[in-house]
Amino acid sequence: MNDAELRRLLVGSRSAVVYGMSRSPTKASHRVPAFLIRTGLDVIPVNPFADEILGRPCCASLMDVPGSVDIVDVFRPSEDALAVVEEAVRRHRERGDVSLIWLQLGIVNGAAQALAIEAGISFVQDRCMAVEIPRLFPRGLGVETSV
């Protein structure tokens, strides 16, 4: 995906589900969502083992998330990414949302990519939103763009 397409998708996004968000402030799966909140995105954690993270109620699965979802930001091992994308595709087909699936830095899954693209969902993998947003929007996407 080129930078212009990525900018278009990100600037039009209002909500991001963070699949695998952590309660631990030392983990990227906690720090990156905190950054996304500072950019102005409505971040919804998906973590079946937590009730609340960063003051936001957790959902057990993507299908449990109320309202509309623009981005599904995935912090799960590469081998688990296909199952997350299958759930995102199901949600996309049933509810008409999920326009972008983003696998964070170090997470790569070709089958997940093929499934998302076949379903008409934009797909990014092995890139960090906390790196890409400041690079693509040096003046800021929302409220703040520093980690």
Rounded CA-CA distance 101/57 in Å is 21
Q: Is the pLDDT of residue 145 over 50?
A: no
Structure tokens at 111: 């089958």
Over residues 28-43, the mean pLDDT reads 95
Half-sphere exposure of 47 (CA within 13 A, CB side): 24
Q: Is the pLDDT of residue 24 over 90?
A: yes
Q: Is the pLDDT of residue 142 over 60?
A: no
Over residues 63-74, the mean pLDDT reads 96
Name which CATH class applies to 3-136: alpha beta
Over residues 15-31, the mean pLDDT reads 97
User: What pLDDT is attached to residue 119?
Assistant: 98
Over residues 84-98, the mean pLDDT reads 97
Question: Domain spans of the chain?
Answer: 3-136
Rounded CA-CA distance 10/35 in Å is 14
Q: Is the pLDDT of residue 40 over 60?
A: yes
Over residues 25-31, the mean pLDDT reads 97
Rounded CA-CA distance 118/86 in Å is 11
Residue corresponding to tokens 């080129």: 2
Q: Is the pLDDT of residue 90 over 70?
A: yes
Over residues 123-127, the mean pLDDT reads 97
- More reliable by pLDDT, 25 or 146: 25
The DSSP element (H or E) to which 49 belongs, if any, is: none
Q: Is the pLDDT of residue 65 over 60?
A: yes
